[in-house]
């Protein structure tokens, strides 16, 4: 009945049981009839049946014992064979537990495994009455488990715990599991006891375990120990193999994006150069807006941008090529079987997909990608050299404001000079050696000075006075634009508080500054500290910087307007902003770039761009300022076209603050509305505005930002 209840009976076993039971019943009935007959005929003759009866009983019991032993051996064999073929270690443990319960007709079975000391805590595996397997990794032994394990390990043999036992060291162990009776057998390896096999709760309310059950479980535990130890070894080997694969994947792939990393790329480039005899190219990519995103919205936004960028990059390249993340915001692509023409074609198609706007949780972010291209050639035998050349080409792209460029040998020296300039600049900023020069912004109608634009200047010890155009790329590469801007701001405000209250101060803002979360607070503190009215300040931003900053730039611009400062778009017409986008910006003026002003007069004159900007400004209610005016004819034509303000060498070169003060003093004498009250001079020398530069002089200050 137990076998039927457990659904483990088989037809041959059932047949043997029926035959044996029938023969036993017939033999018992025959003996009973013989005894009754002899008692009626000759009672003393019954004594002759004692020996045959005893012999029959003994033979039957011997047969049953042998049969039971054979069944146990068969059961052990089948159990171990099934367990040995289990595909997983956990499944093998579960099959052993079910076999142990069936073998000893028990409701509960457990294997408690103790790993080596460096592999963590014990592992409990339990098979209950319903056949379910529960595996419990534990951090440490409970006191009861520790005592039971120590007891079994010390005696080295199984322990029988019946229902009518005396107080025993295993009582806490059994109580924690809700068991009344059990057998606890050790699982031994070659050099130690590595676990316990527990079988408890004998089926039935009356019977309990006995010594025969102990011997049977000890035999079962011996076979189980071999299987488990071998299984643990195989399991460990499999884990080691899997761990090696995981570690290799981690070592050769980027954790954030899942792309191959630098070592992976380096191996691939080396192999490709050897395979194709140099017919390979590397594209080195840099996200120009990544640091701004990180500084403005935090690292989570930066990670989101990198992840989205990596997805676009992986889908934008050819199937045979390899994309990798080198670190930070730098990526690379190995272009296989490629010459210069193929590499440029791949780069162009790739840029069409990855250069543009990314929708993040913080908003839309416009990202420009710079790509340096290096093609394998004679003398290039290592991937390191090819990747380095592509890196150098990428930096030249940033300086030239292009999207991509091919590596050329002379770029090495240019990069060395640029990086040395960056180091020198960093030291100069720390020593506060950066100066500020000012260039007048005038009314074209009468030439009156409306304001001055603050321009950074650096007196380099060997190169002389450098304009911002000379060192701003180095500042951006070194991440110094915010410190540089703060230094210029402090000097400009120091000058502004000595100058007329109706003189506006124009300050240039780099793209990195525009999305700096401390920008508005820093500006407000500086204005308050110097006692300068925010209404006197006009912040200039390049059109490309505003477009790249996207939503973050718009938020910053609105906060600046709330502070009370004016906003102007510099170099308008070069950044490809849409009219709808422009209308969203809280700006007050547009600055017309010098290249458009240059075309107003002379051979091949073209007024179309300037006229379009002026009309746009009028329609949006924005003032317009023309930059780079050098000729009176340009100024006159701009005035006729309706441009209100102008700036350029025609009206004055950028000059130090003391020279500007003399210019303003002269202006105050001729135009009293300036009301200049000198703060540090008792008298001012009359200073005329410098006119058109003489032959051989620089005609326009390109360092306006």
**In terms of DSSP bridges, do strands 435-443 and 449-460 run parallel, antiparallel, or are they unpaired?**
antiparallel
Q: Which whole number is the average pLDDT over 462-478?
A: 89
What is the per-residue pLDDT for 701? 43
pLDDT of residue 503: 94
> Average pLDDT for residues 373-390, to the nearest whole number?
84
Q: Which of 48-52, 280-284, 678-682 has the lowest mean pLDDT?
A: 678-682
Per-residue pLDDT, 704: 39
Long-range contacts of 433-436 (CB under 8 A, 24+ apart): 433/458, 433/459, 434/458, 434/484, 434/487, 434/488, 435/459, 435/491, 435/656, 436/488, 436/491, 436/492, 436/495, 436/657
The pLDDT of residue 694 is: 31
pLDDT in tens, 48-58: 666 666 666 66
Q: Write down the residue that tokens 């807006």 correspond to.
A: 289
Which range, 104-118, 254-268, 405-419, 564-578, is most confident?
254-268
Which is nearest to 554 in space by CA: 541, 564, 572? 541
Check whether 685 has a pLDDT greater than 70.
no
Asked if 90-244 and 262-409 have one fold, the answer is no
Taking 50 as the threshold, does the pLDDT of residue 118 lie above it?
yes
* Residue 494's pLDDT band (cuts 50, 70, 90): very high
pLDDT at 695 over 70: no
The predicted pLDDT at position 371 comes to 93
Q: What is the pLDDT of residue 692?
A: 28
Measured CA to CA, the distance from residue 142 to residue 614 in angstroms comes to: 84
Could you give the CA distance from residue 427 to residue 352 in angstroms, rounded to a whole number?
Answer: 39
The tens digit of pLDDT for each residue in 289-340 reads 787 777 667 888 889 999 999 999 999 999 999 999 999 999 999 999 888 8
Q: Confidence class of residue 76 from pLDDT cuts 50, 70 and 90? A: low
% pLDDT > 70, the chain: 74
Distance CA 537, CA 525 (A): 14
Count other C-beta atoms under 10 Å from residue 671's C-beta.
15
Please name the residue that has the structure tokens 């840099």: 286
Nearest CA to 560 out of 577, 585, 583, 581 is that of 585
**How many Cα atoms sit within 13 Å of 9 on the Cβ side?**
12
Q: Which range among 62-76, 124-138, 557-571 shows the weakest confidence by mean pLDDT?
A: 62-76
Query: In this structure, which long-range contacts are made by residues 145-151, counting pairs with CB atoms below 8 Å and at least 24 apart in sequence?
Result: 145/112, 145/173, 145/176, 147/172, 147/173, 148/173, 148/184, 148/196, 149/112, 149/114, 149/193, 149/196
% the chain with pLDDT above 90: 35
Sketch the domain layout of the chain as residue ranges: 1-84, 90-244, 262-409, 425-660
As its CATH architecture, domain 425-660 has: Alpha-Beta Barrel (3.20)
The reported pLDDT for the residue numbered 590 is 93
Domain 262-409 CATH assignment equals 3.30.70.270: yes
Average of per-residue pLDDT across 231-253: 65
**pLDDT at residue 63, rounded to an integer:** 53
pLDDT score recorded for residue 226: 79
Domain formed by 90-244, architecture: 2-Layer Sandwich (3.30)
With a cut of 80, say whether residue 75 has pLDDT above it: no
Say whether pLDDT at 359 is over 90: no
CA distance 80 to 74: 10
Confidence (pLDDT) at 510: 84
**pLDDT in the model for residue 129:** 65
What would the pLDDT profile of 546-585 be if each residue is shown by its tens digit?
766 566 778 889 999 999 999 999 988 775 555 666 778 8
pLDDT for res 634: 94
**Residues 637, 631: Cα–Cα separation, whole Å:** 10
Q: How confident is the model at residue 81 (pLDDT cuts 50, 70, 90)?
A: low
Give the residue with greater pLDDT, 130 vs 704: 130
Residue 4 reports pLDDT greater than 60: no
In this prediction, residue 253 has a pLDDT band, given cuts at 50, 70 and 90, of: very high
Asked if 682 and 654 count as a contact pair (C-beta separation under 8 A), the reply is no
The owner of tokens 């547009």 is 590
* C-alpha triplet 257, 261, 265: angle, nearest 5°: 135
223-232 pLDDT, tens digit per residue, is 888 777 776 5
Q: How far apart are CA 647 and CA 624, in angstroms?
A: 11
CA dist., res. 663 & res. 623, Å (int)? 25
pLDDT for the residue 622: 93
As a whole number of angstroms, the distance between CA 513 and CA 586 comes to 17
Average pLDDT over residues 142-170: 83
699 pLDDT band, cuts 50/70/90, is very low
Q: For the whole model, what pTM was predicted? A: 0.54
Q: Please report the pLDDT score of residue 72 as a whole number.
A: 53
Token representation of residue 372: 């340096």
Mean confidence (pLDDT) of the chain: 80
pLDDT of residue 629: 95
In tens, the pLDDT along 595-611 reads 999 999 877 778 888 99
Is the pLDDT reported for residue 78 higher than 80? no
Between CA 440 and CA 701 the distance in angstroms is 12
In this predicted structure, the answer to whether residue 672 has a pLDDT above a threshold of 60 is: no
Half-sphere CA count of 253, side-chain side, radius 13 A: 12
């Amino acid at each position: 009945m137990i076998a039927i209840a457990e659904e483990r009976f088989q037809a041959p076993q059932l047949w043997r049981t029926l035959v044996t039971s029938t023969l036993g019943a017939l033999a018992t009935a025959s003996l009973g009839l013989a005894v009754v007959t002899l008692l009626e005929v000759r009672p003393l003759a019954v004594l002759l049946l004692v020996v045959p009866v005893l012999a029959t009983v003994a033979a039957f019991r011997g047969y049953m014992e042998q049969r039971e032993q054979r069944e146990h051996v068969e059961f052990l064999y089948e159990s171990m064979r099934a367990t040995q073929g289990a595909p997983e270690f956990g499944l093998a443990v579960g099959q052993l537990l079910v076999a142990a319960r069936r073998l000893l007709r028990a409701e509960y079975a457990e294997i408690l495994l103790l790993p080596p000391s460096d592999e963590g805590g014990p592992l409990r595996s339990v098979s209950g009455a319903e056949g379910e397997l529960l595996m419990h990794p534990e951090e440490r032994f409970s006191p009861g488990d520790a005592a039971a394990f120590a007891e079994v390990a010390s005696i080295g043999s199984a322990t029988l715990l019946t229902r009518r036992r005396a107080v025993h060291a295993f009582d806490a162990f059994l109580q924690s599991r809700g068991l009344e009776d059990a057998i606890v057998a050790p699982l031994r390896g070659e050099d130690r006891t590595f676990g316990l096999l527990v079988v408890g709760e004998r089926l039935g309310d009356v019977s309990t375990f006995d010594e025969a059950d102990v011997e049977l479980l000890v035999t079962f535990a011996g076979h189980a120990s071999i299987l488990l130890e071998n299984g643990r070894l195989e399991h460990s080997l499999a884990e080691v193999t899997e761990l090696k694969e995981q570690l290799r994947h981690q070592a050769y792939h980027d954790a954030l994006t899942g792309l191959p990393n630098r070592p992976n790329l380096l191996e691939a480039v080396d192999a490709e150069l050897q395979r194709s005899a140099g017919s390979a190219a590397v594209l080195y990519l840099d996200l120009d807006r990544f640091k701004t995103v990180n500084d403005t919205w935090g690292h989570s936004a930066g990670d989101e941008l990198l992840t989205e960028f990596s997805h676009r990059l992986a889908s934008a390249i050819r199937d045979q090529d390899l994309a990798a993340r080198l670190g930070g915001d730098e990526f690379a692509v190995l272009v296989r079987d490629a010459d210069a023409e193929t590499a440029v074609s791949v780069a162009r198609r790739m840029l069409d997909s990855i250069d543009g706007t990314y929708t993040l949780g913080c908003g839309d972010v416009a990202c420009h990608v710079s790509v340096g291209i290096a093609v394998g050639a004679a003398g290039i035998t290592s991937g390191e050299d090819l990747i380095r050349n592509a890196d150098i080409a990428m930096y030249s792209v940033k300086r030239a404001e292009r999207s991509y460029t091919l590596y050329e040998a002379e770029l090495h020296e240019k990069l060395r000079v640029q990086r040395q300039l960056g180091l020198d600049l960093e030291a100069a900023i720390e020593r506060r050696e950066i100066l500020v020069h000012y260039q007048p912004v005038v009314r074209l109608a009468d030439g009156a000075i409306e304001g001055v634009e603050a321009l950074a200047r650096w007196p380099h010890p060997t190169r002389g006075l450098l304009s911002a155009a000379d060192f701003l790329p180095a500042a951006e590469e070194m991440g110094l634009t915010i410190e540089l801007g703060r230094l210029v701001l402090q000097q400009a405000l120091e000058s502004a508080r000595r100058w007329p209250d109706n003189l506006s101060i124009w300050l240039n803002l780099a793209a990195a500054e525009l999305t700096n979360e401390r920008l508005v607070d820093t500006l407000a503190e500086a204005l308050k500290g110097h006692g300068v009215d925010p209404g006197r300040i006009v912040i200039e931003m390049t059109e490309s910087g505003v477009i790249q900053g996207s939503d973050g730039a718009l938020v910053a611009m609105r906060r600046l307007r709330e502070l009370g400062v004016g906003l102007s778009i510099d170099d308008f017409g070069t950044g490809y902003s849409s009219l709808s986008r422009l209308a969203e910006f809280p700006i007050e003026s547009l600055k017309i770039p010098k290249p458009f002003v240059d075309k107003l007069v002379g051979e091949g004159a073209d007024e179309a761009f300037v006229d379009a900007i002026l009309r746009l400004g009028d329609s949006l209610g924005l003032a317009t300022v023309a930059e780079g005016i050098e000729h009176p004819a340009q100024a006159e034509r701009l005035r006729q076209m309706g441009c209100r303000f102008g700036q350029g060498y025609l009206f004055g070169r950028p000059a130090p603050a003391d020279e500007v003060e003399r210019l303003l003093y002269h202006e105050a004498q001729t135009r009293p509305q300036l009301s200049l009250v000198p703060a540090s001079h008792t008298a001012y020398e009359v200073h005329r505005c410098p006119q058109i530069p003489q032959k051989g002089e620089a005609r326009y200050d390109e360092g306006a930002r």
